[in-house]
C-alpha cells in the first residue's frame, strides 16, 4: 500500500483548512491600519500648519513692503498732501473762473526695482522728450527707493508710460493748478508751486483759505480787465515803451475792477518768467508821479483855506530855490489862477501854492491820504513809499508837483478817489464786497473842496493838458503827469513815466481810471512828444469809451444836462 506524498504547499487551496480566521489575527490587523491613519493625519496637520505659517509670513512681508515701507518712503520723499479737499477756485466778481485745480498724475520710480536704468531712461525720454536721457539714467540708477520722474503728466503721457509695463514705475494722484485766463490776471491772482502752495498774489495771501476748499471771489471784472490790458498794451506798443501799469477803481467802494502790469507772464510757467515780467508795476513799483500830485497839493490848499480857487500866484518867471530851478514845460510867463495852475499844469504855480500850505501842513495831509505808508491791499506785492526823512522847504515845493516823493499806482488811484468822491478815504480792495460790507471810510477833505477838485479836473480835459482823454457824453475829468525817471546816479536823460489819472462821470464820480506808460518814446503821431497828455490820456479815453456801456453807464447830452460842462467849468483867464 502506497503512502501519500506530502504536499509542497500544505496551505494550498486544495488542502486549506476551512476554519475561519482567529479573532486575535483580525484585531492585530485593525491596529496596524489605525496606526497608519493616525500617522498620516498627524503628518497632514503638521504640513498644513507649516504651510499656513509660511503663507502668513510671506503676506506680512508683502504688506510691510507694499504699505508700511511705501508709506514711510512717500512721506520722507514727497510732500504730505490732503487730496480729500481740492484747492478752491478763484473767481471774478461775475463768477468767471480765474484759477482752478485739475486732477493729474505724477510719475515716480523705485530705482531698486528698475532692472535696466539706461533702457528705461531711453523709453521714458521718447514719451517725455523734455527730460534728459542722461539725467533719467542717473535717477534710475540711484540707491534711493523713491525718485520723482515728472510731475503733472498729461493723460496721454500717463497712458504711454503705463503701456511700457516697466516694474518700478508708478503714479501718484495729485492736483494741478490751472489759470483759464492765462496772463490776463497773472499779477493779481498770482501762482502756486508744483505742490500747490501759493507763491504770489491772491494765491499766496489766501493760501490757507483756498486749501480749506473755500472759493475766493475777487472784485475784478474780467471784461474791464481785458479792456484795460488791451489799451495799455496798445499804448506801450505805439510809443515803444518798456512797460506800463493801469487800474480801474470804484471811487465809492474802493473795489478794484481791473489791475494790469506789463509785461506780464503765464502763471502756469511762472518759473520761466523774467524778474521784470513778474514785477507788479501797479502795486509793488514806486515812482515819482509828476503832475498828477498837483491834485493833492491843490486839494490841501483849498481845504485848509490858504488860497481860493480864483486866487492867483505869480508864475511869470522860474523859481530858484536852494540851488534848484523850478520851471514850466510850457510857461505862460504871467500870473495864474488856481484853475489855470491845474489846467496848464504849472510847476511854478504849484510850488508857490505849496509855500502857502507850509511844510508841516503838507506832510500831515500826505500822511492823512496814505502817501507815507504802504497801501492796503490783499496781495503781498505792495511797495513802500519813498519820501524825505528831513522834509525841508525845497521838498515841500517839489512834492507839490510830484517830484521828491515816490508812491505806487495804487497810492495814486486811492488818493484821487478820495479827492473826488466827496472827500472820503477808503482802502482799495481786490475782494468783491456787498453793499453792507463797504466801509464808512475816513473824511480827509470837505465835500465842498471835493466839488472844486472835480470841476478843476474837468477843466483839464475840456481845455487843458488832458484833452485827448475826453469822451463825448461821459464827462471825463483827470490830470496828466510826466515825471523824469530816477537812475542810480540821478535822473536819466530822456527817460520818463507818462501817466493820466481820469475820473468819470466827473459830475457824479463812479470810477477812477489810471494809465501809466514806462519810458515811452516820441513818435510822428505825437509830434515828438512823449508826455502824459499824448501817451496816457488817449488810452484812458479809449478805456472809458469801451467800459462805460458794459457797466451800464449811458452817455449824457452835455448841452442839456444841468450838471454838465456849464456847471463844472471854472472861469479861467484865457480859456475862452
Closest CA to 359 of 410, 414, 404, 426: 404
Which residue in 183, 291, 345, 350 is the catalytic one? 291
Peptide bond into 476 cis (omega under 30): no
User: What is the residue whose three cell numbers read 518759473?
Assistant: 271
Closest CA to 225 of 104, 96, 87: 96
| CA 476 to mean position of chain CA atoms | 30
Q: Which H, E and C letters describe 9-75, residue by residue? A: CCCCCCCCCCCCCCHHHHHHHHHHHHHHHHHHHHHHHHHHHHHHHHHHHHHHHHHHHHHHHHHHHHH
CA gyration radius for the chain? 42
Q: Are 349 and 315 in contact (CB under 8 A)?
A: yes
Q: How far apart are CA 441 and CA 118, in angstroms?
A: 67
Do strands 169-178 and 334-337 pair parallel, antiparallel, or not at all (unpaired)?
A: unpaired
Helix (H) or strand (E) holding 337: strand 334-337
Do strands 324-326 and 191-192 pair parallel, antiparallel, or not at all (unpaired)?
A: unpaired
User: Hey, is 346 helix, strand or coil?
Assistant: coil
> Can you list the pairs that 233-237 forms with residues at least 24 positions away whose Cβ atoms lie under 8 Å?
233/262, 234/539, 234/542, 235/515, 235/517, 235/520, 235/535, 235/536, 235/538, 235/539, 236/262, 236/517, 236/518, 236/520
User: What is the residue whose three cell numbers read 511844510?
Assistant: 359
Q: How far apart are CA 241 and CA 233, in angstroms?
A: 10
Closest CA to 87 of 197, 201, 179: 197
Helix (H) or strand (E) holding 512: strand 511-518
Helix (H) or strand (E) holding 99: strand 97-109
Do strands 90-91 and 216-217 pair parallel, antiparallel, or not at all (unpaired)?
A: parallel
Question: Can 80 be counted among the known catalytic residues?
Answer: no
Q: Which residues are catalytic?
A: 291
Amino acid at each position: 500500500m502506497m503512502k501519500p506524498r506530502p504536499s509542497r504547499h500544505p496551505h494550498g487551496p486544495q488542502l486549506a483548512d476551512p476554519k475561519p480566521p482567529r479573532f486575535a489575527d483580525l484585531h492585530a490587523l485593525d491596529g496596524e491600519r489605525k496606526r497608519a491613519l493616525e500617522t498620516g493625519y498627524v503628518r497632514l496637520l503638521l504640513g498644513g500648519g507649516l504651510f499656513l505659517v509660511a503663507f502668513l509670513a510671506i503676506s506680512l512681508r508683502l504688506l510691510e513692503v507694499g504699505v508700511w515701507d511705501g508709506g514711510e518712503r512717500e512721506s520722507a520723499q514727497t510732500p504730505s498732501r490732503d487730496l480729500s479737499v481740492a484747492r478752491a477756485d478763484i473767481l471774478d466778481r461775475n463768477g468767471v473762473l480765474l484759477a482752478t485745480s485739475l486732477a493729474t498724475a505724477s510719475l515716480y520710480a523705485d530705482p531698486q526695482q528698475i532692472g535696466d536704468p539706461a533702457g528705461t531712461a531711453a523709453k521714458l525720454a521718447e514719451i517725455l522728450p523734455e527730460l534728459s536721457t542722461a539725467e533719467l539714467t542717473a535717477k534710475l540708477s540711484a540707491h534711493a527707493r523713491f525718485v520723482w520722474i515728472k510731475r503733472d503728466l498729461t493723460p496721454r503721457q500717463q497712458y504711454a508710460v503705463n503701456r511700457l509695463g516697466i516694474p518700478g514705475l508708478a503714479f501718484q494722484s495729485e492736483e494741478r493748478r490751472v489759470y483759464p485766463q492765462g496772463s490776463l490776471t497773472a499779477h493779481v491772482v498770482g501762482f502756486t508751486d508744483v505742490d500747490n502752495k501759493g507763491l504770489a498774489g491772491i494765491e499766496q495771501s489766501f493760501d490757507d483759505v483756498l486749501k480749506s476748499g473755500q472759493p475766493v471771489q475777487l472784485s475784478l471784472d474780467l471784461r474791464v480787465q481785458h479792456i484795460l490790458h488791451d489799451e495799455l498794451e496798445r499804448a506801450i506798443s505805439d510809443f515803444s515803451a518798456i512797460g506800463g501799469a493801469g487800474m480801474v477803481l470804484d471811487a465809492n467802494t474802493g473795489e478794484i475792477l481791473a489791475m494790469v502790469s506789463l509785461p506780464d507772464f503765464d502763471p502756469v510757467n511762472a518759473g520761466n518768467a523774467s524778474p521784470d515780467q513778474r514785477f507788479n508795476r501797479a502795486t509793488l513799483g514806486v515812482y515819482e508821479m509828476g503832475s498828477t500830485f498837483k491834485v493833492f497839493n491843490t486839494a490841501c490848499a483849498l481845504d485848509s483855506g490858504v488860497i481860493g480857487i480864483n486866487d492867483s500866484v505869480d508864475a511869470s518867471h522860474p523859481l530858484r530855490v536852494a540851488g534848484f530851478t523850478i520851471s514850466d514845460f510850457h510857461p505862460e510867463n504871467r500870473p495864474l489862477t488856481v484853475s489855470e495852475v491845474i489846467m496848464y499844469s504849472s510847476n511854478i504855480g504849484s510850488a508857490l501854492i505849496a509855500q502857502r500850505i507850509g511844510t508841516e501842513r503838507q506832510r500831515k495831509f500826505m500822511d492823512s491820504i496814505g502817501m507815507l505808508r504802504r497801501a492796503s491791499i490783499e496781495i503781498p506785492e505792495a511797495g513802500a513809499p519813498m519820501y524825505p526823512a528831513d522834509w525841508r522847504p525845497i521838498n515841500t515845493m517839489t512834492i507839490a508837483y510830484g517830484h521828491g516823493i515816490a508812491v505806487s499806482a495804487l497810492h495814486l488811484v486811492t488818493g484821487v478817489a478820495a479827492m473826488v468822491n466827496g472827500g472820503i478815504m477808503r482802502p482799495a480792495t481786490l475782494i468783491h464786497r456787498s453793499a453792507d460790507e463797504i466801509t464808512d471810510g475816513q473824511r480827509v477833505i470837505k465835500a465842498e473842496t471835493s466839488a472844486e477838485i472835480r470841476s478843476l479836473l474837468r477843466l483839464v480835459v475840456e481845455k487843458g493838458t488832458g484833452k485827448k482823454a475826453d469822451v463825448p457824453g461821459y464827462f471825463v475829468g483827470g490830470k496828466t503827469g510826466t515825471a523824469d525817471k530816477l537812475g542810480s546816479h540821478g535822473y536819466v536823460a530822456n527817460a520818463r513815466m507818462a501817466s493820466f489819472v481820469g475820473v468819470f462821470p466827473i459830475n457824479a464820480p463812479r470810477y477812477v481810471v489810471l494809465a501809466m506808460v514806462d519810458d515811452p518814446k516820441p513818435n510822428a503821431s505825437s509830434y515828438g512828444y512823449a508826455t502824459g497828455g499824448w501817451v496816457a490820456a488817449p488810452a484812458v479815453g479809449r478805456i472809458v469809451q469801451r467800459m462805460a456801456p458794459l457797466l451800464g453807464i449811458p452817455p449824457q447830452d452835455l448841452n442839456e444836462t444841468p450838471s454838465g460842462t456849464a456847471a463844472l467849468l471854472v472861469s479861467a483867464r484865457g480859456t475862452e
